[in-house]
Amino acid sequence: MTDDNTMTDGGVAAGGDEASPFDTVSEFEETRKDKLRKWYDAYVYTPISIIWTDWRARIGFIIILAYLIMGIIGPQFVTRTSVLEGPALAQPFETMEYPLGTDDMGRDLMSQTVYSTQTILKMVAAGATSTVAIGTIVGSIAGYKGGMTDTVLSSITDVFINIPGFPLVMVLGLLFDDLLLGNPWAVGVLLSVAAWGGLARSIRSQVLTLRQESFVEASRALGLPTRTIVFKDIIPHLMPFVVINLTNAGRRVIFEAVALYYLGILPFQNLNWGSVLNLAYSAQAHTRPAALHWFLVPMVAIVLISIGLILLGQSLDRVFNPRVRARHEKTTSDDQLDEGDGVSVGETGGL
């Protein structure tokens, strides 16, 4: 006769002389502080540590951080410039009151650069996010679902791929000039209208291979809905490719926005890099040595942020490399254990 305490795995249930190994529980209880530390380690400390070990990413990170500080915090300390604020065409570093000089109307180029950065960052945030979000979602659903869904979404994608993107944006910019006036968020979304097709096609190709993987088949066998499989199983595996395309989309938004404002197609209420170049070109600043800095300041700002995005994008794939992440998370966890805070190895998530 079988003992009532005997379990199917050969052990003895709680209350017997022996305990099943499957009844063993951790002697440590994970606290909220431990959870916050794990989140910080996985999503803040580890990515920054990985980026900091690559000189390309380090330089790109510093450049982009400088632009973020200038665009977000700068307007709190730099007043918006006005006509006849200073002497006309003051040279850079001629006086510390106008470190980058002034234009022919006496407006401070440093102030113009700070407020232009704020405007461009809003366009980049809206345009790059819209491009990547639409392209990733459409490509993932088309590649995973297949059949009629794939046919319809692929046909729509082909239409947007074959439409000349920049001329389309020019026409839409002229049609909706009232909506775009003084609204950088709307300009960013406009610039993403014809830019997501190529990314959607690339994502679809990768999903076609991922949907046959065992972990996707397991999720499908469990009866998980499509949105769960796509957003929790498939898209996380595509994050390196998605993030790199996010930086590329940001550069494209900058170039197209500057070009549209420079050509005078988009209306502007406040100065930005493109409108500053437009005014400088109209005043023939590129042919006048005394006014050349007026033309060069926005150009240097555009080139530097482009270099920062290129360097950051080239090395961001290492952030999603499992081996690199494991090495940095292990180091972080070891440091935490050395502090003697009582966190167990199993709780750190890095060992």
Residue 175 lies in a domain: yes
- Give the DSSP letter string of 245-286: HHHHHHHHHHHHHHHHHHTT-S--SS--HHHHHHHHHHTTGG
The answer to whether 144 and 229 are in contact (CB under 8 A) is yes
Q: What is the pLDDT of residues 254-267, one digit of tens each?
A: 999 999 899 888 87
Q: Read off the pLDDT of each residue in 1-23 and give the average, rounded to a whole number.
A: 51
Q: What is the pLDDT of residues 58-91, one digit of tens each?
A: 898 899 999 999 999 999 999 988 888 889 999 9
The torsion angles phi and psi of 98, rounded to 5 degrees, stand at -130, 80
The answer to whether 199 and 246 are in contact (CB under 8 A) is no
Residue 76 lies in a domain: yes
Residue 158 lies in a domain: yes
DSSP letter at 92? T
Mean pLDDT for all residues in the chain: 82
Would you state the pLDDT for residue 286?
Answer: 83
The answer to whether 109 and 292 are in contact (CB under 8 A) is no
Whether 239 shows a pLDDT value over 80: the answer reads: yes
Residue 304 lies in a domain: yes
Residue 15 lies in a domain: no
Residue 299 lies in a domain: yes
Whether 351 shows a pLDDT value over 50: the answer reads: no
The answer to whether 331 and 72 are in contact (CB under 8 A) is no
Whether 24 shows a pLDDT value over 70: the answer reads: no
The answer to whether 133 and 192 are in contact (CB under 8 A) is no
The answer to whether 41 and 326 are in contact (CB under 8 A) is no
Distance from C-alpha of 336 to C-alpha of 199, rounded to nearest angstrom: 40
Angle at 302 between CA 278 and CA 185, to 5 degrees: 80
The token duo for 264 is 């005078």
Question: In terms of Cα–Cα distance, which of 108, 80, 120, 107 is closest to 260?
Answer: 120
Number of domains into which the chain is organized: 1
The token duo for 237 is 């595996």
Question: In terms of Cα–Cα distance, which of 73, 184, 168 is closest to 128?
Answer: 184
Q: What is the pLDDT of residues 182-222, one digit of tens each?
A: 789 999 999 998 889 999 999 999 999 888 888 888 888 88
Which comes out higher in pLDDT, residue 41 or 103?
103
Distance from C-alpha of 107 to C-alpha of 85, rounded to nearest angstrom: 6
Would you state the pLDDT for residue 154?
Answer: 92
The answer to whether 276 and 300 are in contact (CB under 8 A) is no
The answer to whether 141 and 230 are in contact (CB under 8 A) is yes
Handedness of CA 239, 241, 244, 250 (dihedral sign): negative
Residue with tokens 């046959």: 212
The number of beta carbons lying within 10 Å of the beta carbon of residue 170 is 17
Q: What is the pLDDT of residues 156-186, one digit of tens each?
A: 999 998 888 888 888 888 888 888 887 899 9
Q: What is the CATH number of the domain that holds 301?
A: 1.10.3720.10
The answer to whether 210 and 237 are in contact (CB under 8 A) is yes
Whether 344 shows a pLDDT value over 60: the answer reads: no
Residue 19 lies in a domain: no
Structural domain harbouring 226: 46-320
Residue 262 lies in a domain: yes
Q: What share of the chain has pLDDT > 70, as a percent?
A: 82
The token duo for 227 is 């949105």
The model's confidence at residue 340, banded by pLDDT at 50, 70 and 90, is very low
The model's confidence at residue 3, banded by pLDDT at 50, 70 and 90, is low
The answer to whether 313 and 241 are in contact (CB under 8 A) is no
Would you state the pLDDT for residue 28?
Answer: 60
Q: What is the pLDDT of residues 91-114, one digit of tens each?
A: 998 888 899 999 989 999 999 999
